[in-house]
Each structure stands twice: as structure tokens, then as C-alpha cells.
């Protein structure tokens, strides 16, 4: 009886087990093996030892793309989290019905395909005639052409789609026990003190979760950057490498130049970086994340 | 009370303008003649609906939209059904290795997609399907960790007595799943469906990797081709690009407005106990 049940259970799980083996475990192994080869799909793979990794560490474009990506992520993650938290706090204070309306408004940009976001970036942030600079006037930089301003501009347009983070925070804020706040208020705690001592610890799980997912997605930014700055017609729109993000470079190596082995090594470096960053975040989070006993 | 509320309203109103203005501008600019594109008037001084005629004749947008609909529906339907089946396996049965396997499922959520991108391409290439739309949705036949996790939560909420009673009546496990768990958890399945619909509709990277023949392009991939053709040549024709951007975006906006409850519920559950 119990045995039959086990078989049935594995029957239900079988789609995932097959998918895991064929599209996750298998590819991971294949990717690792490929990273030690020279392979262009058309001819057979040739074993080259650690050559790809050696090349990778000496490749200036790896350094550029990695630098760009880390710079972008380092701005994107805190900006997203701080603005989202501010909006979620406002929503939490507004009445339920109006909160529902604004929640919809804030979430709307996240259903906009990133291709369209890339187009909006090119036009709204256009140095001469874009709306952003019409507002900023003479102090507005050339967001889409000045290498120093391309990434800050991308961070700003990226922040436009922070709606999911807002909703996650709002859901967490609604679970904060009211009596904790009231008790703190009775004790004469200021609004800021209550925010630090009650609100932040109560939603630390959500803060941690969004820290991890925003970091991972930031490190893999591709669609809007590729849309705005790269194309099939011309390898690159602008002379500088300011918009060379890591996954863009990985994509070019793999699918435009067919350097499959080298690109696999790039993929493993990215994997290593993401794992390392995530582990550091998990470590640090142990100090401040509280999972309420509720 | 009213006096203390106004900063909240001001903050929300300003944010709402920032979040909606780009849409309004996008739609309005797509209806302006070329010289007026950068003009910020939300109501065009001069209307140019012919931008849509131009894009219609310059690119097979109807085909691309159709492809996107087919691919997104296939992706959403397959991932919902397969994830529900797997989720039921985890929610109902007690079997050796359950917790370890489930931890593995959750663990794979952390795996960056860029890492499996190349070998996955090689698999489809070996199968002779690399230049088709199949790779854009077929992996969903095996379920997806996030949806398995989400749907399982709902299945766990079904009172066990319901299942036990049906078992006593001689119902098969499949019947428990299909006749009890699925109907009771329909909202979770809709969440998975609309989520994947959005993800699939918006995807650019995979269509860039797999699709060569413009007749097979999805709308975002076609949009990129329009941008390459009309946006980056010597003289940019932004009005055509903008019409393309509207056609890429608006179907998803409509879908969102129709099912926003499910989109937002899906996101809200993400932050809880992850």
C-alpha cells in the first residue's frame, strides 16, 4: 500500500524529475565540460584545458562588462529597495481602496516588455530633445551617448519597473502586528524609532528576499540594454563600451561569434559570482532577518 | 486626520504621474507625425495614425503578434498543467526523499538562467529544433520551480478529509488531483498562467537566440528588428518604432487590466515565506 503510494508520488513528480535531469543537471555538466573546450557548433569540440579561463582573466572586455554590470547592480538594488519601501509605506497608510488603485498604477510598468522599455529609454532620455532633459534643462547630461551617464540613465529607467518590489513590501507591511506599533507608541517611541525597531525587523524577510532577487536579476540585465545599444545591423550603436553588460557579452560570444567553449567559461564565472554574492547576502542577513513566529 | 493625510496623497499622486506618464507619452507619440515625436503634448497637435499603416506595410506585425499569442499561450498552459501535477505530488503524498527533493526544487529557483542558456541551445540544436518556436515553450512541459512552489501552497490548504473521503469511495490519485485539488485551487492556477503569459510575452533573449526566420518572430523580437531597421539608420524614424513599441506593449496591458488581481496576488505571495 505505502509502496504503491510512493510509486504514484514519483509518477506525479516525474515531469519535474525528467526536466531537472534534461534541462538543468545535464546542461550544468555539459556547460562545465564545454568550458574546457574550443567549440563552434559546426565542427567537433576540441579539449583545450583551462585556456578559456586564462583568456577570460586577461580579456579587457570581460573586465569592462563585469565592471559595468556590478556598477549598475550596486546602484539599481538600493535605489529599487528604498523607493519601493517608501511607496509601500505610503500605500500602507492610504485607505484600502485607494491603495488598490495606486498598487495597480505602480505595477503597470512591470508588464511592459523590456524591449519597449529600451525604446522609451532612447527617447525619453535623449540628450537633446528627450523629456527628461526638457525637465532638467541645461544641467541634463547626454544620458544615451555620454559614457559616464549611460548606466545611471539605465538605472533610472530600470527603477520605473519596481512595482513587484512595492507589492511584496506592501504585503509584508500588512502582516506587521498592529499591537507592536501601538505598544511602541505608548512607550513614546518616535515615528523613526518605530520604523527602525518595529517595521524593519517585521518585514526583514521581504527585504532580504527582494535584495536577493533584485541582485540576481540586476547581474543578468540584458533585454533593455541590448535593445537600446546593440543590434544585428551594427554590433554596437555607440563607440564606447559603457553599455557592455556581462550577459550581453556572453550572448555575443555564444550566439554571434559561436565561441561556445569560451562563452561557457563566461557563464561559469557569472554563476560563481552570483553564488558568491548570494552567499554573502545570506550570511549578512542572519544578523538582521527575523522570521516572525506567527 | 485630513490634515495628516495630505502628504501621503501628494506623494502617491506624484509617483503615479511618474509611473503612468511614459505610457501616455508612448501612445501619444506613436500617433504624431515625425517632426512632433519629441513634443511632450499628450494630445497630438497633429494626428498621424498612418504610422500604424507604415509599420503594417513595413513589417509582418500581424504575424508577429499571432506568433506571440500562440507561444505565450503554449508556454502558460504547459507550465500551469505540469507544475500543478508536480505540486500535487509534493502536497498530497508522503514518501521517502520528499523534503530533500522539494528543497532541490526550491534551490533551482536560485539558478541564474544565463548559465543553462548555452547547453540548452545545444540540446535543441541536436534535436533539430533550434530554429523553431518549440524551445520557447517546450521546457515548460516539465514544470517550473516557482509555480510548483506556489501551487503546492494552495494544495496544502485543501482539507485532507476531502481527499480521504474520495479515497474511501475508490477514487484514483489522478481523480483526487483533477476533481478535487484543481477545482479548489483555481486561483493559484490562474496566477501561474497569467504570470507565465507575461514572462513569455516579454521575453527577448530566447527569441534572439532561437529565431532566425522573421516569419517566426514573436512581437518583442520583431520590435527589435523594427528598431534596428528604423531607429538606428542615419535618419531615425521614431514614429514607426513607437508604433511598434505600442503594439508590443498594449496586448499585455489589456491582459493585465483584465486579470490584475491575479498578477498582484502572485507577486504578493512571493515575499511571504520564500
Interface probe with A: pick from B8, B16, B17, B22, most Cβ of A within 10 Å: B22
Residue A293 phi/psi, 5-degree rounding, is -80, 15
- Residues 41-80, chain B: which have Cβ within 8 Å of A? none
Write out the DSSP string of B76-104: HHHHHHHHHHHHHHHHH---TTHHHHHHH
User: Number of A:B CB contacts under 8 A?
Assistant: 283
**Exposure letters B167-183 (e unless 16+ CB within 10 A, then b):** eeeebebeebbeebbbe
Confidence at residue B273, expressed as pLDDT on a 0 to 100 scale: 47
B267 to A168: CB separation less than 8 angstroms, yes or no: yes
User: For an interface test with B, which of A21, A36, A112 has the most B Cβ atoms less than 10 Å from its Cβ?
Assistant: A112
Rounded to whole angstroms, the Cα distance separating A109 from A157 reads 10
User: How many CB atoms are located within 10 Å of the residue A44 CB?
Assistant: 9
- If one compares B244 and A128, the residue with the highest pLDDT of the two is B244
Q: Measured between CB atoms, does A16 come within 8 Å of chain B? A: yes
Q: Which residues of B touch A108 (CB under 8 A)?
A: 19-20, 23, 253, 256
CB contact under 8 A, A260 and B274: no
B269 touches chain A (CB under 8 A): yes
Round to whole Å and give the CA distance between A41 and B114.
Answer: 19
- The answer, for A191 touching chain B at a CB cutoff of 8 Å, is no
Residue in the block written with cell 483526487: B176
Provide the 3-class DSSP secondary structure of residue B221. helix
Sequence-distant (≥ 6) Cβ neighbours of residue A54 within 8 angstroms: none
Q: Per the confidence metrics, is the pTM higher than 0.90?
A: yes
Contact call for residues B93 and A5 (beta carbons, < 8 A): yes
- Asked if residues B16 and B3 have their Cβ atoms less than 8 Å apart, the reply is no
Q: Which helix (H) or strand (E) covers residue A237, if one does?
A: none
- pLDDT number for residue B41: 85
Give B192 or A181, the one with higher predicted confidence.
B192
pLDDT-derived band at B272, boundaries 50, 70, 90: low
Strand partners, A38: A46
CA-nearest residue to B196 within chain A is: A111
Is there a contact between B93 and A8 if contact means CB atoms under 8 Å apart? yes
- Give the gap in angstroms from C-alpha B81 to the nearest C-alpha of chain A: 11
| Model pLDDT for residues B120-138, shown as the tens digit of each residue | 999 999 999 999 999 999 9
Question: What confidence score (pLDDT) does residue A231 get?
Answer: 76
Identify which has the larger pLDDT, B247 or B40: B247
| Distance to chain B for A131, nearest Cα, Å | 7
Q: Is A105 in contact with B228 (Cβ distance < 8 A)? A: no
**pLDDT 10s digits, B83-102:** 999 999 999 999 989 999 99
How much is the pLDDT for A288?
A: 76
pLDDT of residue B155: 96
- pLDDT at B266 (0 to 100): 85
| Chain A CB contacts of B253 below 8 Å | 108, 111-112
Instruction: Indicate the residue of B209, B232, B249 with minimum beta-carbon distance to A113.
Output: B249
Cell of A173: 507591511
Chain A residues whose beta carbon lies within 8 Å of the beta carbon of residue B222: none
The pLDDT score that the predictor gives to residue B111 is: 85
* Per-residue pLDDT tens over the stretch B199-208: 999 999 999 9
Q: Which residues contact B172 (CB under 8 A, 6 or more apart)?
A: none
Of chain A residues 59-78, which have a CB less than 8 A from chain B? Answer: none
Are B95 and A6 an interchain contact pair (Cβ–Cβ within 8 Å)? yes
Closest-CA residue to A118 (of B198, B226, B66, B24):
B226
Q: Do A171 and B148 touch (CB under 8 A)?
A: no
Helix, strand or coil, per DSSP, at residue A105: helix
Segment (H or E) for B243: helix B238-258
Residues of A with CB below 8 A from B219's CB? 113
Angle (CA) A35-A223-A101 rounded to 5° is 135
C-alpha cell at A147: 559614457
- The 10s digit of each residue's pLDDT in A61-101 is 999 999 999 999 999 999 999 999 999 999 998 888 888 89
The C-alpha cell that represents A257 in the structure block: 561569434
Q: Which of B7, B23, B271, B273 to probe the A interface (max A CBs under 10 A)?
A: B271
Choose among A120, A216, A234: nearest Cβ to B26: A120
* H helices present in chain A, as ranges: 2-20, 26-34, 51-58, 60-93, 96-107, 114-124, 131-136, 147-159, 163-174, 178-186, 191-194, 200-202, 204-219, 223-229, 246-251, 260-288
Asked if B176 and B162 count as a contact pair (C-beta separation under 8 A), the reply is: no
From the candidates A16, A85, A169, which should be mutated to test the interface with B, based on the most B CB atoms within 10 A?
A: A16
Pairing of strands A46-47, A37-38: antiparallel
Q: How many whole angstroms separate alpha carbon A237 and alpha carbon A284?
A: 40
Contacts of A186 by beta carbon, 8 Å cutoff, 6+ apart: none
Whole-number pLDDT of residue B2: 52
pLDDT at A88: 96
Tell me the angle at which helices B219-226 and B61-92 cross, rounded to the nearest 10 degrees: 140
- Who among B89, B112, B139 is closest to A23 (CB)? B139
Spatial contact of A115 and B220, defined as CB atoms under 8 Å apart: yes
How does pLDDT run across B147-188, given as a tens digit for each residue? Answer: 999 999 999 999 999 999 999 999 999 999 999 999 999 999
Measured between beta carbons, the chain A residues lying within 8 angstroms of B148 are 16
State the average pLDDT for chain B.
92
Cα–Cα distances (Å) from A149 to A61, A115, A141, B108, in that order, read 19, 20, 7, 36
Residue A233 confidence (pLDDT): 52
pLDDT of residue B205: 96
**Nearest-neighbour CA in chain A from B51: distance (Å):** 16
Instruction: Please list the pLDDT of chain A residue by residue as tens digits (294 residues).
Output: 578 889 999 999 999 999 999 999 999 999 999 999 999 988 888 999 999 999 999 999 999 999 999 999 999 999 999 999 999 999 998 888 888 899 999 999 999 999 999 999 999 998 888 899 988 988 999 998 889 999 999 999 999 999 999 999 999 999 888 888 889 888 888 889 999 989 999 999 999 999 999 999 999 999 999 999 987 555 445 556 899 999 999 999 999 999 999 999 999 999 999 999 999 999 988 887 776 543
Min CA distance, A70 vs chain B (Å)?
16
Burial string for B42-71 (b: 16+ CB within 10 Å, else e) reads eebeeebeebbeebeeebebeebbebbeeb
Residue contact A23–B263, C-beta within 8 A:
no
**Could you tell me if B231 lies within 8 Å of chain A, comparing CB atoms?**
yes
Residues of A in contact with B25 (CB under 8 A): 124, 131
> Considering just the CA atoms, what is the radius of gyration of chain A in Å?
23
B113 vs B143, which has greater pLDDT?
A: B143
CA distances to A120, B207, B218, B258 from B61, rounded to whole Å, are 20, 15, 9, 23
Contact between chains at A223 and B40 (C-beta distance less than 8 A): no
- Output the CA–CA distances (angstroms, integers) from residue A37 to A44, A49, B130, in the order listed: 10, 7, 22
Amino acid at each position: 500500500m505505502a509502496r504503491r503510494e510512493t510509486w504514484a508520488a514519483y509518477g506525479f513528480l516525474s515531469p519535474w524529475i525528467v526536466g531537472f535531469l534534461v534541462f538543468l543537471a545535464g546542461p550544468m555538466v555539459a556547460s562545465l565540460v564545454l568550458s574546457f573546450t574550443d567549440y563552434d557548433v559546426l565542427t567537433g569540440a576540441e579539449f583545450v584545458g583551462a585556456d578559456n579561463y586564462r583568456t577570460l582573466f586577461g580579456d579587457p572586455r570581460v573586465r569592462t562588462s563585469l565592471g559595468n554590470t556590478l556598477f549598475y547592480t550596486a546602484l539599481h538594488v538600493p535605489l529599487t529597495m528604498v523607493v519601493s519601501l517608501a511607496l509601500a509605506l505610503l500605500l500602507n497608510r492610504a485607505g484600502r481602496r485607494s491603495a488598490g488603485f495606486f498598487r495597480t498604477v505602480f505595477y503597470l510598468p512591470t508588464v511592459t516588455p523590456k524591449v519597449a522599455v529600451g525604446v522609451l529609454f532612447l527617447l525619453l532620455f535623449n540628450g537633446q530633445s528627450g523629456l527628461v532633459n526638457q525637465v532638467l534643462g541645461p544641467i541634463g547630461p547626454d544620458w544615451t551617448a555620454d559614457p559616464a551617464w549611460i548606466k545611471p540613465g539605465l538605472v533610472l529607467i530600470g527603477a520605473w519597473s519596481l512595482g513587484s518590489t512595492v507589492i511584496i513590501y506592501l504585503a509584508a507591511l500588512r502582516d506587521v502586528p498592529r499591537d507592536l506599533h501601538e505598544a511602541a507608541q505608548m512607550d513614546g517611541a518616535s515615528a523613526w524609532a518605530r520604523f527602525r525597531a518595529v517595521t524593519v525587523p517585521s518585514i526583514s524577510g521581504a527585504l532580504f528576499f527582494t535584495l536577493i532577487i533584485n541582485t540576481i536579476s540586476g547581474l543578468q540585465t540584458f533585454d533593455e540594454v541590448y535593445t537600446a545599444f546593440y543590434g544585428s545591423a551594427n554590433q554596437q550603436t555607440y563607440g564606447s563600451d559603457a553599455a557592455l553588460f556581462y550577459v550581453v557579452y556572453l550572448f555575443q560570444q555564444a550566439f554571434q561569434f559561436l565561441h561556445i567553449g569560451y562563452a561557457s567559461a563566461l557563464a561559469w564565472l557569472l554563476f560563481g559570482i552570483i553564488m558568491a554574492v548570494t552567499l554573502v547576502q545570506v550570511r549578512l542577513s542572519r544578523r538582521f532577518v527575523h522570521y516572525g513566529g506567527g | 486626520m485630513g490634515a495628516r493625510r495630505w502628504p501621503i496623497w501628494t506623494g502617491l499622486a506624484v509617483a503615479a504621474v511618474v509611473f503612468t506618464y511614459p505610457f501616455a507619452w508612448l501612445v501619444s507619440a506613436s500617433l504624431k507625425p515625425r517632426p512632433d515625436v519629441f513634443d511632450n503634448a499628450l494630445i497630438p497637435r497633429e494626428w498621424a495614425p498612418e504610422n500604424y499603416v507604415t509599420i503594417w506595410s513595413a513589417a509582418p506585425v500581424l504575424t508577429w503578434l499571432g506568433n506571440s499569442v500562440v507561444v505565450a499561450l503554449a508556454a502558460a498552459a504547459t507550465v500551469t498543467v505540469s507544475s500543478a501535477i508536480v505540486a500535487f505530488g509534493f502536497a498530497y503524498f508522503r514518501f521517502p526523499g520528499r523534503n530533500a527533493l522539494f528543497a532541490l526544487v526550491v534551490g533551482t529557483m536560485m539558478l541564474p538562467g544565463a548559465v543553462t542558456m548555452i547547453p540548452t541551445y545545444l540540446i535543441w540544436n541536436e534535436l533539430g529544433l533550434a530554429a523553431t518556436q518549440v524551445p520557447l515553450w517546450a521546457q515548460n512541459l516539465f514544470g517550473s520551480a516557482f509555480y510548483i512552489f506556489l501551487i503546492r501552497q494552495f494544495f496544502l490548504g485543501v482539507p485532507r478529509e476531502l481527499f480521504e473521503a474520495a479515497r474511501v469511495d475508490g477514487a484514483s490519485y489522478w481523480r483526487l488531483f483533477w476533481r478535487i485539488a484543481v477545482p479548489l485551487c483555481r486561483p493559484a492556477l490562474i496566477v501561474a498562467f497569467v504570470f507565465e503569459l507575461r514572462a513569455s510575452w516579454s521575453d527577448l533573449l530566447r527569441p534572439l537566440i532561437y529565431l532566425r526566420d522573421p516569419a517566426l518572430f514573436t512581437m518583442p523580437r520583431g520590435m527589435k528588428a523594427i528598431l534596428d531597421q528604423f531607429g538606428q539608420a542615419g535618419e531615425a524614424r521614431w514614429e514607426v518604432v513607437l508604433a511598434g513599441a505600442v503594439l508590443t506593449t498594449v496586448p499585455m496591458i489589456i491582459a493585465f487590466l483584465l486579470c490584475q488581481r491575479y498578477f498582484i496576488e502572485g507577486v504578493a505571495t512571493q515575499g511571504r515565506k520564500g
